[in-house]
Amino acid sequence: MKKYLSLLTIFSLLMLATACQPAEQTNSEPQETKEWSIALHGGAGYVSENMPEDRKEAYMASLEEALSIGSEILANGGSALDAIEKTVNYLEDNELYNAGKGAVFTSEGRNELDAAIMDGSTLNAGAITGVTTVKNPISLARKVMTDSKHVFFSADGAETFADETDVERVDPSYFYTESRYQSLQRALEQEEEQSGLTPLTDEQKAWKYGTVGAVAKDVNGNLAAATSTGGMTNKKYGRVGDVPIIGSGTYANDEVAVSATGWGEKIMLNVSAHTLAMFYKLKGATLQESMDYLVDEVLEPGDAGFIAVDKYGNYSMKTNTGSMFRAATDSDGNKEVGIWE
C-alpha cells in the first residue's frame, strides 16, 4: 500500500511539474499583430568584416534607402506587392547588388537574370529566367503573374513576353560592371587550377553569392515575396537557380512570405522557402523557430540565408554563411539593418 502511495506521489509531482512548464508559444495562439512589416536582403555570403569603411557605408546607406522605399508604401496603406516590387527595383538599379545592374556574369561572359514574385493572398506567382534585356526583372515577373495565364517563362520566351508589356528594356551591355567582370575572370582562373569537384574556397563563395529580395505584410494582412538575381558567377549555359523556382527561393501564402539567397543548388534541393512555410503551418511553430529549423537543421553551414515575415507582422532574417546584407522594419517601430551575423 505504502509502495502505491509513493508511486502516486511521484505521479502527482510529475503531473504538476508538467502543468507548471511554460507552454511553448505556437503561431496559432492570438498575439499582437503589427499593421505592416517588411524585410529585405541584398545577398548572403562571406563578406569580410575588414571591408573598407566607405564601401560599408555605401551598403548601409543603400539598405536604409531600400527599406524606406518599401516601408513608406506600407505605412501609406499600399500593398505588400507594391512595397516589395519597388524595394527590389531600387536594389536592381544599384550596382552594389547582384541583380539588375551589377548582376554577375555567366561562364560565357553574359548577364542572365532570374526573378520571381508571389502573392500570398491569391497563391499566384510569376517567374522568369535567363532574360538579358529587361532592366527590372522583378517587374516582368509581376507581369507574368498578373497579365499571363502562365507562371514561369524562360529566356527567349520571357523576352517575347516582355515585348508584349511596357517594362523598360535595355541593351545587354547595360548590365556590364567592371568588378563583376573581374570576378568572372578570377573564377575562370581558379576553375582551371582545380581538378574535379573541389569544394568552394571562402574567397570563391564571397564572389558567388548575391541576389536581392523583399518580403512584406501590408495593412490588409496580405503577404508577398520577391527575389531577383544575376545568379552565380561563372554559371554554365542555361543554368537556372533557386530564385525563380516557386517554393525554393521565393514563396508566400497567407501565413508567411520567404525570400532566399545563397547557393542556389542547395536552396533548390531542399525546397527551402516552402519548407519554412510548411514547418510554420504544420508544426504551429513560431516564425523564428521555423527559420531556425530551415537554416540550422535543413541546410548546411555556408549554404544560404533567408528573410521572412509572418501573418502577425513578425520578421526574421538569418544566414549560415557569416554575413547577409539585410534590413527590416515594422509599424511598431522595430528596425534592424546589418551585414554580419
User: Is 234 exposed, middle or buried, given 0-12, 13-18 or 19+ CB atoms closer than 10 A?
Assistant: buried
The reply on whether position 105 binds ligand ASP by CB under 6 A is no
Contact string 81-100 vs ligand ASP (x = CB under 6 A):
-----------------x--
Counting every residue, how long is the chain? 341
Instruction: Report whether 102 contacts 96 (CB < 8 A).
Output: yes
The reply on whether position 262 binds ligand ASP by CB under 6 A is yes
DSSP-derived pairing of the beta strands 323-330 and 335-340: antiparallel
- Say which residues have a Cβ less than 8 Å from residue 331's Cβ, sequence separation at least 6: 34, 35, 36, 37, 74, 75, 313
Binding region for ligand ASP (CB under 6 A) out of 122-130, 153-161, 214-222, 261-269: 261-269
The reply on whether position 241 binds ligand ASP by CB under 6 A is yes
Q: In the window 163-222, what residues touch ligand ASP (CB under 6 A)?
A: 209-211
Question: Residue 50 CB, nearest distance to ligand ASP (Å)?
Answer: 21
- Say which residues have a Cβ less than 8 Å from residue 31's Cβ, sequence separation at least 6: 25, 312
Instruction: Report whether 286 contacts 26 (CB < 8 A).
Output: yes
Take residue 245 and report the three cell numbers written for it.
523556382
The reply on whether position 321 binds ligand ASP by CB under 6 A is no
The reply on whether position 242 binds ligand ASP by CB under 6 A is yes
The reply on whether position 111 binds ligand ASP by CB under 6 A is no
- Tell which one of 70, 78, 120, 231 touches ligand ASP (CB under 6 A): 231
Binding region for ligand ASP (CB under 6 A) out of 12-20, 76-84, 239-247, 329-337: 239-247
The active-site residue out of 106, 129, 133, 211 is 211
Take residue 35 and report the three cell numbers written for it.
499593421
Active site residue 211: yes
Strand-pair partners of 215: 39, 225
Instruction: Report whether 127 contacts 113 (CB < 8 A).
Output: no
The nearer residue to ligand ASP, 78 or 302, going by C-beta atoms, is 302
Take residue 82 and report the three cell numbers written for it.
507594391
The nearer residue to ligand ASP, 12 or 179, going by C-beta atoms, is 179
Interface contacts to ligand ASP, rule CB under 6 A: 43, 98, 209-211, 229, 231-232, 241-243, 249, 261-262, 264, 267
